[in-house]
Structure 1
Amino acid sequence: MSTAAEVSATFQQHFGYAAPLLVRAPGRVNLIGEHTDYNQGFVLPAAIDKEIYFAIGLTQGTDIRLVSHDLHDSCTIATGQVHRTETQWANYLLGVVAQLQKRGVEVPGFDCVFGGNVPVGAGMSSSAAVECGLAFALNELLSLSLDKMTLAHAAQKAEHEYAGVMCGLMDQFASLFGRPGSVVRLDCRSLDFEYYPFNTEACRLVLCNSGVKHSLADSEYNKRRQECERGVEILRRHYPKVQSLRDATMTQLETHRDELGPLTFRRCSYVVQENQRVITACQHLEQQDLAAFGQQMYASHAGLRDDYEVSCEELDVLVEAARTVPGVYGSRMMGGGFGGCTINLVSPDQVENFIRQVGAVYQQRFGRDLETYQTSIVGGVSEVASNG
């Protein structure tokens, strides 16, 4: 877990000159709307104060020299030979360079040290923060004048092509477009977005880490995507206007339940219902009805567990334990699934009690301590003052 100052100091030790640019890129939480982004649906993320820091300087040479502060590892590659490497962490960064090169940008040699405090594998999108931080930094250093949405797309494609994860746009969008004290609803089809105030004085975001590590590239993530596409293919035969599950209705799914088969039906019905939950949840936020908002979160978890089947025993235990604690508005698994964190909306005066009670249940059930994080909502990727 490193700070901006430590990353900057490592840069100077490693490369022997002061870093010209310091950047912070936040991880994200998603309050509701899981696995909807690649189905052109709605999501409701926020950038949080778990961040990746970068120290970056352009050089006169033709080498890209990357250093992972947290992993004590480095990787060097020529700008003219950017490709996927055996060094997995470096691929997230090299993928961004490759995307800029595809756009005709001549990327010169540069030095980069990065590190931070986004827990890896906990569903807070450390990979998107890494991609977006570098994309933002190179945009600044090379005066490219690319807008934030363009940077988000470049970072997303980097993950597709260099990390092998066919992610939607939400993680990169949230890291770049975050706004303090607000969550943002993104329409993943039109890319229209709208901010909703989220009062963290009335309600705290507490993440509980199941301790189960998930590797999305190796997991069922890409398979779920294919299952949804299969459902769309079947529905389109009957309803030509259904271009994605965003267009489908529960009535249509029920009508063709037999043709879809039980598995595809469950996957598709989860996505259709989750999209509606995001819309309903935003109405509850506007009415400042946290209890009603929390009920949508519980329903989201049930769908992820039973219909989309991306939960695991540890996540289910955490959500059930949260239900029994006073002052908890809602709880659900967050992220791709198969591990990572639950996100919990907790009344400020009950946070300590929540952590104690849920931790005790987890310890008793699995024999290990529960790691928790209290997070606040912050702004998106930005430059850091060099004394930071």
Structure 2
Amino acid sequence: MGIKKGSRMDLTQSSVRAELKDGFLARFGGRPSGLRCALSPGRVNLIGEHTDYNGGFVLPMAIARHTAVLFRPLGRPCLRVHAADIDRQGEPDDEFGIGASIARLSDGRRQWANYVRGVAAVLQRLGLRLKGGELYIHADLPQGAGLSSSASLEVATAHALLALAGKRLPPQQIALACQKAEHTYAGVRCGIMDQSVVARARPGHALLLDCVSLSVQNVPIRLKGWSFAVFDTGVRHKLAGSEYNKRRAECEHAAKLFGVKTLRDASVAHLLKAGGKLTASEHRRVRHVMTEDLRTAQFAAALARGDVEALGDLLHRSHASLRDDYQVSCPELDFLVETLRKASDGPIRGACAGARMTGGGFGGSVVALVKPGRFAALRAHLTQQYLKHKGRTLGGALLLEPSAGAAVTAC
């Protein structure tokens, strides 16, 4: 599913939720009484890539694309779930019992269901007594584009299940539960960044997160005449059981050799003492993590003072490190970043200050700092060049608005 023109449904609007309510009732029947909506944003990581599970710093922001989970009580101890924008026509709902062990599905075509099942299972393990319910899922957030559709689904599901049970948890505890669900049921050993920003974001701000203490600093985004945007390569990654987990294992091995818990605590002294024991690839991974943490701190400071030139330079340097040292980019990502960097003709002159890949890598999207008034021209230029040189259609483009974190609302 790409970011296709015209595909957005503004799930924050009551008229859109009314359409989804009609879809819920068409699927599950009955009356609309007791029907509520858990709304959870996606996110773009501005900088601080592959540093979260290394105990470092990240600077994501929530975006105004969402996952909506409409829900109401069900008079028996089970959850009945339908994903309106994912399930194929005629596919049955995913229905499973609660109060006992919840099985993980092996059907790869319904991987989304493992995120829901995982969240339910982890909440039960925390001692929460879940109650039965019907869940209807719809998102205008594309999957696999590096915008954290998985964390958005997890956090929206958690809010729905907690509301059904009449319980509350602090936002960071919800984030930790959802991270555990992704580890155990989706098989992706993700860090804590995605779930944290989805659960804790503040509108108009980026979230500077310390991934050890889990403390946050809300950094205001006040860039006069500039906005962040994403451009989707249309290339889709599969993180579970892939190079993502391999990178994490390499970092953990390096930290073990250094005698530190995570690479957050590594220093030049550790490299001098134990660097000879690292493989060449592990050395590159360590270099990326150490320099990316520094770039993240510098980026937050530049963002706070509105220094566009510094922000653009840091975006470019982050991409180079992800491409060369962490080796999680791909030719399509590199092409878009380089095309944006070189954009200098006609109406796109000076339209982009900097760009880099965002998300886990191996596909997905590029985040760029652009002038909103030239966004359409920039998108057209990228679309033309991408097709000409890569033979691919741009997955789409979004001009971003810093959004609020997840919440439950009336339908």
Q: Same fold (TM over 0.5)?
A: yes
Question: Is 1:379 matched up with 2:404?
Answer: yes
Matched, 1:210 2:210: no
Output the amino acid matched with 1:184.
L
Cα distance in structure 2, aligned partners of 1:385 and 1:329 = 41
Query: Helix, strand or coil: the match of 1:31?
Result: strand
The more displaced of 358-367 and 251-260 is 251-260
Q: 1:1-388 to 2 correspondence within 5 Å?
A: 3=11, 4-16=17-29, 17-18=31-32, 20-72=35-87, 73=91, 74-79=93-98, 80-85=100-105, 86=107, 87-199=110-222, 201-236=224-259, 242-325=260-343, 326-370=350-394, 371-386=396-411
SS in structure 1 opposite 2:240?
Answer: helix
Kindly report structure 1 stretches of 4+ aligned residues shifted beyond 4 Å.
Answer: none
**Paired-residue identity, %:** 39
Q: RMSD of aligned C-alpha atoms?
A: 1.5
Q: Is the 1:250–1:272 contact (alpha carbons within 8 Å) kept by the matching residues of 2?
A: no
Deviation at 1:350, TM superposition (A): 2.2
Moved more, 253-262 or 19-28: 253-262
Amino acid aligned to 2:94: C
Structure 2 contact 35–410 (Cα < 8 Å) conserved? no
Please, what TM-score do these two structures have when normalized by structure 2?
Answer: 0.89
Describe the SS at the equivalent of 2:328. Answer: coil
Tell me which moved more, 272-281 or 355-364.
355-364
Q: Secondary structure at the match of 2:61?
A: strand
Return the letter of the residue paired with 2:291: Q
Moved more, 66-75 or 190-199: 66-75
Say which SS state the counterpart of residue 67 (structure 1) adopts: strand
Unmatched segments (≥5 aa) in structure 2: 1-6, 12-16, 344-349
TM-score by length of 1: 0.95
Over 3 Å counting, the alpha-carbon distance change for 1:257 and 1:81 in structure 2 is closer
Where structure 1 has 5 or more consecutive residues not aligned to the other structure, the ranges are: 237-241
Alpha-carbon distance between aligned partners in 1 of 2:294 and 2:221, rounded to the nearest angstrom: 20
Alpha-carbon distance between aligned partners in 1 of 2:402 and 2:95, rounded to the nearest angstrom: 35
Provide Cα deviations, 1:168-194, integer angstroms capped at 9, x if missing partner.
011101111111110010000001100
* Paired residues of 1:200 and 1:376 also in contact (CA < 8 A): no
SS in 1 for 2:237: coil
